[in-house]
Every structure is written in C-alpha cells, then in structure tokens.
Amino acid sequence: MGCDGGNVASGLSSTWVRRSTMSTLQIQLLGGFQLHLDDAPVTTINQTRQQALLAYLLLHCYAPQLRQHLAFLFWPDTSEPQAHTNLRQLLHHLRRAWPTVSDFLQIDARTLQWKPEAAFTLDIMTFEQALARAAAAMHAAQLEAARTALTQAIDLYGGDLLPGCYEEWLLTERERLRQRFLDALEQLVVLYERQRDYLTAIHYAQRLLRTDPLHETTYRRLMRLYALNGDRASALRTYHVCATNLERELDVEPNQETQDAYARLLRMEIPLVLGTATAARTAAGERLIGRQPAWETLQAAWQMAMHGRARFVCIRGEAGIGKTRMAEELLHWAQRQGIAQARTRAYAAEGSLAYAPVTEWLRAEVFQPARKQLSDVWLSEVARLLPEILVERPDLPRPDPLTERWQRQPFFEALARMILSGSQPLLLLIDDLQWCDPETLEWLAYLLRFDPRARLLIIGTARPEELDIDHPLLPLLMHLRNAEQLTELDLSPLDETDTVALARQVTNQVLDPSVLAKLYQETEGNPLFVVETIRASLSHQPVAIGDRETAASLAPLPSLSPKIHAVIHARLTQLSPAARALAQVAATIGRAFTVDVLAAASGCEEEALVRSLDELWQRRIVREQGANTYDFSHDRIRDVAYGDMRPARRRMLHRRAAQALEKLYSDNLDAICGQLAVHYEQAGLTQQAITYHRRAATAAHHLVAYPEMEAHLNKSLALLDLLPATPEHLEKKLEILSLMGGIFLISKGFTAPEAEEVLTKAKELCYSVGNSETRFAVLCGLRVYWGKRCCWEVAAELNQELLHLAQETQNPVHLQAALRLTGALAFHQGKLREAYTYFERAIALYQANQRLSDTHDHEQDQGISNLRYSLCTLWLLGYPDQAQARMKEMLARTRKLARPFDLLISVDFAMDLEHHLRRPQAARALAAEYTALTAKYPYPYCMVYELVFRGWALAEQGETVEGLSLLNQGIEMLRKMNIFLFWPQALTLLIDAYRLAKQYAQGLSLVTETLAFVAETGEQYWNAEFHRLKGEFLQAQGGRVNEIELCFQEALTIARQQGAKSLELRAAISLARLWQQQGKDDEARSLLAEIYGWFTEGFDTADLQEAKICSNKLNPFRKSG
C-alpha cells in the first residue's frame, strides 16, 4: 500500500530493498510482528500499539504522515490534545525500546515517515512479488515457473496480517492479502491437477480447506482428486466432513452439485431405510440443551486461560450424560474464531501404550509447524512418540531409550515445548480420563507447571463411577486444585422439561405428551439414552420403550440397563447384514479406526466396505474423527456391537484385527504391540500374546512407564501359567520375574514387599532353569532388598551365594558386585578392616577391566558404588586425607557420567563425610545441591533424605525449630518405608540438631532409642559414636560422672574392636576432658598421646586439631603466652 492507498507492490516495486553500508532490517508482518537486524531478533518492541504504528508507516512509507492524522487514527475516541499526547508518549517508549529507530524513521514536529532509503525487507512485498511473477508466468504459459512462484508465495504467507491487532484501518488490507493467499492456493491446486500430480494437488487442496472449511467448491474438488487418485474411501469421507461442517456451522445441507458428486461416488442408490434416519441431526449440529450453567463455567475457564492462566477443566458424569458433547460445544465455538485446538481420548481396551493420547495430540495439524520450529535436541526427544520424524529427518540424532525416571525431564520438556510452540491460545480435549495411562496424567501436571502463564485450556472428561481411590487421576486433580488451576464441572441428568426439549429437537416433531412422559421415566434424563431411544423409535422396526420381552431376550453388558441395551441392540439390527458385520469388526478393533485397518481386518472388497461404512455413518453409528479416522458415536454402541457377537466370531475377528495391524504397522510394531497382545490373547493365541505383552513391556520400559510395564509383565506371567511347564516356558517366566523384581526396587522402593515377593519366586525358579546371568541378577536384587532392611543374616547367606556363583563364572562383573556387597555387609556389622579389603579388591578389579566402566546395578555405576563405601571406611579407619581423595574422585566421576540417581547418592555420601570432618559450610553447600537435584529428579528414596539434609542445614544455621520439624518428618518417613540401611547417619543429624537447639533431654532419648535399634538390627559401624554421644548428653544435663565415664569407655572399647580410629579419637577426647575435670591429667594426657600418635594424616581436620589443643592444655611443659 503506497501513499495513495494502492497496494504495496505498486508503490515499492523498484526500490523496495535499499542496499547500503548500514545494517539490513528484516520485517515480518504476516502471521505476527517480528524484526531481525542482520539476522539478530529485535525483541524489545512488544507493545501492540508500537507494532501497529510501525506497520502503518511501513505500508504508507512513500508519503509523510501527519501527526494529527495518526493521532486521530489510533485514538479516535479521545480528545485531540489527549490523542497528540498519547502519540508523543508512544514515540517516547518506542525510542526507549529501539534506540536506533531513527535509522529507519523520520520523526519531525508535524510528520512521521518510514525512510524509503533505509536498508530493509518486508515479507508482504516479497509475497506479492512472488504472486506477480506467477501471474507473468501464467500469462506466458510457463506453468513450471508459475508453480514455483506460487509455491514460494504460499510458503511466505506466515498467516494473517498482524493477527493480534484489531485496528480498523488494518482489516481491509488483512482481508485483501488473505484472499490473495487463497487465490494462490486455488491456482496451485488447478495447476497440479492439470499435471496429474494428484497427491500434491490433494496436499494444497487440504490446506485451502483448512483455511476456509466452509468452501463447498473445495470439498468437491478434493472429492474428485481423491477419486482420481484411486482413494474412494477418502473421497466419501470428505463428503461426510463437508456435510457435518455445513450442518454445524450454517445449519444447511450440501448443495445439489455436491450431493450429486457424492451420489456418483457411491454408484448406487441410497437405501430407503436411511430416509428417516437422516432427519436426525448430528450431535455437533444440535443445540445444547439444559447446560447453560455448565456452559457459563466453561466460558469463565476459557477467559482465565485467555488472560494467561493455564487451566484444566474436568467434566465429570456418568456414561451418556453429555460430557463429550459439552466439551465439543466449546471446541466448535472456538473453531469458529480460528482458535488452535486438538483432541484425543483414552480407551478402555487393554494394550494402549503410555502417552498414547499425547501422541495423538502431537500428530494434529495444529502442531505440524512446531516440527520445523523446534531445535534438534527437543525434536529428537519428541521422536520417541513420533518415530516418523526420524524418517522425515534422517540426520536427526536417535534418542536413547528412557531407562530411568530422571531421563523423563528433557523428554517431558520437549513435549511441552512442542505443545506450547505457538503464540496463539490453545484448546485441548482429552476424553475418557478414567482410562488414561498414569504417564500421560503425570505429563499433564508437568505441562501445566511448565508455563503457568500459557494461554492454554485443557478439557478432560471422566466417569466418576470408574475412579477408585487409587486412580492416578485423583492426585493430578488434587495437585491442580492446590495450584488453583482446576475447574471442576459435574453434569447431572436432564430434568423432564429439558428431556422433552431434546426429544423434540432430535425428531423435529411435536410428540405426544404421554410418550414424552414415558421417555423421561425410562431414560431418567440421560441424554444418550434419550437420543438412542428416539432414533430407534424413528426406524422401520421400532422398539417399544420398556419392552420387557425384548430386553429380557438380550444379554446386557455390565453397567448398561437392559432397556437401553435393547434400544441400542435394536438400532444395530436395523442395519444391513454387511454393515452390521462391519460394525462388529470395528468394535473388535476397540478404538478409533482407520479405513485401512478396517479394510484389512474385515477382508471386504473396497466397494462393499465403502457402502457399509457409509451406511454406518448415515445411521449415526460411527462418526468421522481426525484425519482418515472413524469412531463409534459412543462407547456404549461399541459395547453392544461387541457384546452381541458369539465367542467364536469374536476370536476370529480378534485374530484378523491382529494380523491387519501387524501388516499395516510392520515398520513400527512397538507402537501397537500392546494392542496386538490383547487381540492375540482374545483370539486364544497365547504364545503370540505373550510375545507381544513382553515386547509392550520393553516399549513401556523405554518410556519409564512402570505401571504399564508391570501390567504387561503380569499378563505375560498369567498367560504362561496357562501353558505346559516346559523348560522354555519356565525360562521365560524366570526372565520376566527377574525383570519385574529389578523394576520394583526402583519404582516402588528398595524395601517394597512386592519386590521381595517377585524376586523370591524368581530365586526358587533359578534352581531348575535359568542361566548364571539371570540367577546373579535375582540374588543381587534380593541382597539389595534385605540389606536396606538391615536383615544381615539373610544378606549374609545371599552374599555367600553371590560369591560362590561369581567364582564359578569368573565373570568380572559378577566378581566385582559380589565383593562390594560382601564388603558392605562387613562394613555395616562394624568389621571395618575386612570391609576395606573387599572394597579395595573390587576397586582394583574395576580398574583392571575396562568393560566394567559401563556396568550398572539398579541405576548406580558399580565403580562409583565401590568408591562410596571405600571413602566411608577410610575415614572410620583413621585416614581422613585418603577419604577426601576418594570423595573427590567419586564426585568427579559422577559429575562426568551425569546420571542423576548416581549423583544424588554421591552427594549424599559426600555430605556425610563433610559432616564427619566437621566442615559445616561444605556440608550445607552439598545439602543445598541435593535439594536442587531432588527438585529435578524426584526419586522417592532421595526425596525423604532431602528433608533430613535440609532440616539439618537449617538447624546448623540457627533455625532449629523448622530444622527439627523437617528432620523428624524425614526420619518418620524412613521408618515407614522400612529403610534402615545408613539410618544411623540420618539419626546422627537429628541428634546433632537437638544438640544445637540445646534440647539435651530429647537428644538423650533419641540416642538411647538408637542404641536399642543398633542392638536389634546389627547396624554396628556407628555404635561407638552413639555411646559417646550418650555420654555427652548426660554430661550436658549434669548426669552422674561414673555413668558418663562408662559411656565414653564403652565408646573407646567398641571403636578399638572395630578399628574405627576416627571414632576412637573422638571418644578419647571426650574421656580426656572428663578426666581433666576430675584432676586426672596424667591419664588424660597418656590417652590422647597414644591415639594422636597413631595418626599419619589429616592433622588439619577438626578432630585432630581439637585433640592437639586438648593435649597442649594437659602438657605441664607447654609454654605460657
């Protein structure tokens, strides 16, 4: 648009891009406002008015614009002085936001003008230049050049002109450019059709249809293109979409020309029985009845989302109550405004993979641009759910399997980034949350946390009668409720007035009052039952409402009343035999189905398939849903269609469905292996079912979807129990039990009873079948379980078995693990020198065998595990410098590997060592790091210890009340989890906090309780320190001297027996001070000299420094001053 109001091209065609020595500014106005200066984004101009002013000046750059005119144009409803003031303020803020604006704007006292000589480019002009080239090429009959230019123009059109700006002056130009874009699309479709490149023509026709979904000419053209391409099913589906959209949006049928094209595609007469059925309008086109309060609640939730408060709406109600209909009403309302949206649903049928609803969302058209916008690191993560991305981008790095929960953090973030990649508001629907997998629900919580200010509304529907107390949806709702991100909407049945209104809407007739009264009585106001009953009564074979004879002759499904079952059954019997048979095939598939899968599973010829599918659509048995996909109008119709089959036919159809899926998804069976397992199981083909359940478990493991993995493994075990107990079957059972045990230790906790139960079964099976690898893994799992519970007798027996097996196999992986576990047992029993010998052998073996560098045991690197125990042992044995060296080696290796669980445990051990070394500042820093890590990687075990460490750190800094509260919470949680391994370390931190708070009575009580625990469990390595601490607390309370001395003497005795020189030093210092108070200086001096003289390192540590100071005070020859 030039200064005379013509289009942009007419005013700027010759000198649009000015070249100079100054920087070039790239300007985008189509699809949103963006500036780039020499390819660097200019992000400071983010106010809509600033963007609108620059856009106006750009579009009128060849004429100065009077300030008076601009002030009136932008502020027409204010006084002239105020409008001028507003303009001055706008320019002032613009200069501050963009200091170099004067390079491009000429700002005078009376006028403003974009400098035409400035170096800049504008996407609108590039777009129109491409259209001009296309027009010239068409005029010259150069079709290839025309196609190229049109394609360039279409690719340049990033969206409507400044879609976020609603200034009146912009609307005409926006509509002009949009129409030029539509014309270009239409020309390109015609050109490709002429070239007989039907697939490319279909691609651009679909894009044209997405931009203008009510253009019948485009529907007809698309129907024709599909037919020319040999895809009659898609051609018919295009008509179905056309009819649905026109009815929903305009309340009209397709015109005669479109209906004639449809009839030609059918090549047959529409059956007469469809005549009355078509009188009933589709659910999408019906007026919503009786839900005005619910609608207002939805509108309020949408308004909050629009204002940058990401929100979740949960619509609850019994089956058929209208939950989906309610959600769809908002979808249709938003669609009319061009709001981005996507929908998905969960299915009751077993076999769904984790994140299946998220996957369906990601494949929606609205998220396709994100594939080009996401960086490779995020796109690679998304490819876990969309493997076709790796086909489109073979250069993209393949993602590693997700074997640990911490790896989900970047995966979750990548999914969230793709979903929230657009700048426009977004509406998402997930239907049937009661069947949703836990992983999807967990990710939904993450999505709403990821950007709470996103303009995002998620609607979920759920049946409350199917939500038991342990359902994973309930924690999600509680979390969202606490975060004030949840709107809850409960739908109840319609009252009698609304039931009558719904019946009249469906029939478009005035019905007899007695019939309506009976209808309400029988359906109790359930909208689905009302509609289905009315539709059945409109057929040629009506079913009387309340027909007890008919109802009694059928076998109603659970939770479906006999009366309504009879109504739906009667509707299905009114279908032609072929259509009813096809409905049974579709019901067997168990979820939304594509035409390809339906064709392969049914074995129908294309002609018969198309005819029967069209009949199902006409009768409202199925409806189109998503790209090339159909689904039943309601799950209850699917249930009845499936339940009406005899067992033999069900088995046959399940086999066909499995074989069809195998054939069509042969290049990506992992995505459907759960479905295949269920189909083969229902078909009675047990071996195939086991194979696919096992494969589905592996796929779930790669997504860290432990509940799905457990379900598939349990199903595999149940099916194996149905087979003869052959060696092959027993080996499979052992392998599954071993895998389950290892997973339970991680997912349910190291002391979970389920883990012990499964691993014990596996151990029993090991003696008859299984190789040494499986047996060793099972024994290790049991050793971890019993070790965490401090059941040392059982652990010792398992250690012997592990050592014996490792010596048999001479497998260095086995030998190292067995040595470490045996050393750990000796360590906890206070046999420190023996433990040190085992740890050093394990470390030497690790260093000598490079292949061990990548071995892991329950998410922990074996080499790092050796270092952890070694550093603890070294400190206790009296080698603090060597312990610190091992700590540094451990942390360096752990940080290099960057495995979060390993890092958390290593920071745990390092923090303990710093506490032993009495370096509180370093210990607090590690406690803070531990807190930050658990925030990102919330392992249950580590989350508990985070409370303990954070509580101690607070107490050490003087905040003893809050610190003690957190410490006690953590200790209690450890007690409930039956995790007693290293419990003395946690108790020592609590005891230390009581000392800091000068709560000596509580500290003494805890020490006494802990000594009883040590005696019961045999967790002996810290026993000497507990006796010393008991003496210290007694002394702080003014206890009897002989009792205090006995505590210190007992600490000395135990420390000497264990070789725990560091604890012996502490006990000696405590006893020496007590003797000094009693005047026993010689005894005290001798005691300290003996233990201090033993040490060869660590003289800068706090304990040895304290010993030296105490000894100097006792030395009669020390110099004064």
SS (H, E, C) 335-350: HCCCCEEEEEECCCCC
Average pLDDT over residues 586-593: 87
Q: What tens digit of pLDDT does each residue of 898-920 get?
A: 788 889 999 999 999 999 999 99
Do 83 and 183 lie in one domain? The reply is yes
Say if residue 146's pLDDT is above 80. Answer: yes
Q: Does residue 402 surpass a pLDDT of 80? A: no
Are residues 452 and 513 located together in one domain of the fold?
no
By mean pLDDT, which of 407-421, 809-823, 850-864 is the weakest?
850-864
- pLDDT tens, position by position, 209-228: 888 888 898 998 898 888 87
Of the pLDDT bands very low, low, confident and very high (cuts 50, 70, 90), residue 197 is confident
- The predicted pLDDT at position 538 comes to 65
Residues 297, 186: one domain?
Answer: no
Q: For residues 879-890, give the mean pLDDT.
A: 96
pLDDT given at position 453: 92
Pair (44, 156) in one structural domain = yes
Residue 286's pLDDT is 63
Q: What is the pLDDT of residue 164?
A: 78
**pLDDT value at position 627?**
59
Domain end marker among 441, 467, 490: 490
Residue 814 contacts by C-beta under 8 Å, 6 or more apart in sequence?
772, 776, 802, 805, 806
Does one domain contain both 186 and 297? no
- Averaged pLDDT, 705-721: 90
- Closest to 841 measured CA to CA, from 875, 809, 878, 803: 803
Choosing from 490, 516, 543, the residue where a domain stops is 490
Nearest to 693 by CA among 676, 712, 711: 712
- pLDDT, mean of residues 922-946: 87
| Closest to 503 (Cα-Cα) out of 464, 534, 473 | 534
User: In DSSP terms, which residues pair with 120 in a beta bridge?
Assistant: 25
Q: How confident is the model at residue 336 (pLDDT cuts 50, 70, 90)?
A: low
Where residue 4 sits, what CATH number does that domain have?
1.10.10.10
Separation of alpha carbons 331 and 295, rounded Å: 12
Judge if 467 and 536 occupy the same domain.
Answer: no
Residue 899, domain member (yes or no): no
Q: Using the predicted structure, report yes or no on whether residue 268 has a pLDDT greater than 50.
A: no
Per the model's pLDDT, the better-predicted residue between 1 and 974 turns out to be 974
pLDDT above 80 for 230: no
13 versus 561: which is more confidently predicted?
561
Tens digits of residue pLDDT in 741-764: 888 887 777 788 898 899 999 998
Amino acid at 818: A
351 inside domain: yes
Residue 715 has pLDDT above 50, yes or no: yes
DSSP letter, residue 30: B
Same-domain status, 513 and 429 = no
Residue 404, pLDDT score: 66
Name the H helices within 937-1036.
940-956, 960-976, 983-996, 1000-1017, 1023-1036
Whole-angstrom distance, CA of residue 893 vs CA of residue 885: 12
507-560 confidence digits (pLDDT tens): 877 778 888 888 887 778 888 888 877 877 665 444 444 433 333 233 444 456
pLDDT value for 302: 92
Q: Quote the pLDDT of residue 518.
A: 81
pLDDT at 560: 60
Alpha carbon 1007 to its chain centroid, in Å, reads 45
Which residue in this structure is represented by tokens 């805890």?
Answer: 1006
224 close to 261: Cβ distance less than 8 angstroms: yes
The predicted model gives 137-155 an average pLDDT of 90
pTM of the predicted model as reported, rounded to 2 decimal places: 0.64
Q: What's the average model confidence in pLDDT over 336-363?
A: 81
Summarize the confidence of residues 3-23 as an average pLDDT: 42
Closest-CA residue to 528 (of 570, 574, 494): 494
Residue 7 in domain: yes
Q: What is the pLDDT of residue 548?
A: 34
Is a pLDDT exceeding 90 seen at residue 229?
A: no
Tell me the CA distances in angstroms from 77 to 74, 112, 170, 176, one per residue in order. Answer: 9, 21, 17, 27
| Rounded-to-integer distance, Cα 344 and Cα 365, Å | 13
pLDDT at 1047 exceeding the cut of 50: yes
Model confidence at 582, pLDDT cuts 50, 70, 90, reads very high
Task: Copy the structure tokens of residue 1097.
Answer: 């390192």
Closest CA to 158 of 199, 122, 193: 122
| Residue 354 DSSP class | T
Q: Which residue has the tokens 């289905």?
A: 532
Query: Which region among 46-50, 165-169, 279-283, 928-932 has the lowest average model confidence (pLDDT)?
Result: 279-283
Q: Are residues 482 and 505 in the same domain?
A: no
Range of the domain at 527: 496-571
Over range 777-801, report the average pLDDT: 88
Q: How many domains does the chain fold into?
A: 3
Answer yes or no: is pLDDT of 351 > 90. Answer: no
Residues 484 and 506 in one domain: no
Higher per-residue confidence, 99 vs 428 = 428
Q: What is the DSSP letter of 99?
A: T
pLDDT at 283: 38
pLDDT value at 157 more than 60:
yes
Judgement on whether residues 295 and 170 belong to the same structural domain of the protein: no
The rounded mean pLDDT for the chain is 85
Question: If you average pLDDT over residues 27-31, what whole number do you get?
Answer: 89
pLDDT of residue 18: 39
pLDDT band per the 50, 70, 90 thresholds, residue 350: low
State percent of the chain over pLDDT 90. Answer: 42
Please state, for a pLDDT cut of 70, what percent of the chain lies above it. Answer: 91
Structure tokens at 1098: 């660590």
Q: Is the separation of the CB atoms in 290 and 302 below 8 Å?
A: no
Pairing of strands 856-857, 860-861: antiparallel
Instruction: Provide the pLDDT confidence category of residue 860 given band limits of 50, 70 and 90.
Output: low
Residues 427 and 555 in one domain: no
Residue 481 lies in a domain: yes
Residue 662 lies in a domain: no
Residue 318 lies in a domain: yes
The pLDDT value given to residue 7: 46
pLDDT for res 797: 92
Q: What is the mean pLDDT of the segment spanning 178-192?
A: 92
Residue 588 included in any domain: no
Q: Report how far residue 944's alpha carbon sits from residue 969's, in angstroms, rounded to the nearest whole number.
A: 8
pLDDT score for 564:
76
Q: Which CATH number belongs to the domain containing residue 454 in this structure?
A: 3.40.50.300
- Cα gap 485→452, rounded to integer Å: 9
Q: Which of 161, 177, 195 is the last residue of a domain?
A: 195
At residue 337, the pLDDT reads 59
DSSP states along 310-335:
-EEEEEE-STTSSHHHHHHHHHHHHH
Of 982, 892, 978, 893, the C-alpha closest to 940 is 978
Residues 111 and 187 in one domain: yes
Instruction: Tell me how far apart the alpha carbons of residues 488 and 490 are, in angstroms, rounded to a whole number.
Output: 7
**Is 552 a member of any domain?**
yes
